[in-house]
Amino acid sequence: MSRPLVLYALCGSLRKASSNRALLEALRDVAPADITIDICELIGDLPIFNPDREANDMPAAVLALAARIRVADGLIVSSPEYAHGIPGGLKNALDWLVSRDEIPHKPVMLIHASHRGGDALGALTEVLKTISVRLVDESFFRINLLGKSPEQRAAILAEPETKKLLSARLQRFAEAIIAFGEEGRPVTGGRD
């Protein structure tokens, strides 16, 4: 690819001290110069999804989110599990994107900051498949940051082996995006 990749990261947690956000920030920090990762700050600003507003009254925050997704080469999603499901804010954001044209066929990398949370990952995968993204399975990884203090999280994310894992999975995702763009074919069949 002749230009840098632009990736847009969605965090399922709105907490300032979110372990999922810390993981996204660590991934951003190891990105090479030809990959930019911007972390979404819009999810908390979105009104509750209402299909009646899609036709003539699309909220400005939704349009801003859609514009950021449109120009992104791929999306990175990191989300906790709330009550065995997807956090409401993230699900709401995805609901706003269902009938829009920015999201279908967009390559997506899922990452997870916990040793548990399979219900949310399963539900998130199902929603993403339904809105026709291209999940890049070989880029998925999890690092257990759940229950760790900010200092402990920082120490884990600063370990050379952790940085190596982050870099390797980010590189796999970038390669999949490039292959998809060059060949015009699906990146993967989705997560099982």
Assigned token pair, 169: 């999975």
189 has pLDDT over 50: no
Q: Is the pTM of this model over 0.85?
A: yes
pLDDT in tens, 47-106: 999 999 988 889 999 999 999 999 999 999 999 999 999 999 999 999 999 999 999 999
Domains and CATH numbers, the chain: 5-181 (3.40.50.360)
- Provide the pLDDT for residue 2: 62
Confidence of residue 17 (pLDDT cuts 50, 70, 90): confident
190 has pLDDT over 50: no
Packing angle, helices 160-183 and 150-158, rounded to 10: 70
- Provide the pLDDT for residue 138: 95
- Provide the pLDDT for residue 183: 64
Q: Which residues contact 38 (CB under 8 A, 6 or more apart)?
A: 6, 7, 8, 9, 68, 72
Average of pLDDT values for 119-134? 95
- Provide the pLDDT for residue 6: 97
